[in-house]
Amino acid sequence: MVDVSFKKITKSGGITLPRQMRQELGLLPGVALEIHPTDDGGLLLCKHTPSCHLCGSADDVKTCKGLTLCRKCSEAFSQEVTE
């Protein structure tokens, strides 16, 4: 379990995660995080997993021109566009 620690928010709105926490959780530079406000006023951070904009699946997704689609939705989408 990771110890609770306190960090101040910088002028630009950033925080630095403790080194030990980053190492234990594999949070390397460039890893995208999702930030979710919680019902009790807290924040939940988790690794970002790209998911399909249409069905929400995280399996076999690709992003093109800002739109992330799974293979199934991508094939259905291109079929509708070409018909």
In the complex, the residues that contact Zn ion under the rule CB under 5 A are 52, 54-55, 57, 70, 73
Beta carbons of 52 and 68 less than 8 angstroms apart: yes
User: Amino acid identity, residue 77?
Assistant: F
Q: Nearest distance from residue 82's CB to Zn ion, in Å?
A: 18
Shortest gap between Cβ of 37 and Zn ion (angstroms)?
A: 26
Minimum distance of Zn ion from residue 66's CB (angstroms): 16
Which residue, 24 or 59, has its beta carbon nearer to Zn ion? 59
Q: Which residues contact 52 (CB under 8 A, 6 or more apart)?
A: 58, 61, 68, 69, 70, 73
Q: Give all strands (DSSP E) within 1-83, no chain letters.
A: 33-37, 43-47, 61-64, 67-70
CB nearer Zn ion, residue 15 or residue 55: 55
Nearer to Zn ion, 25 or 54 (CB): 54
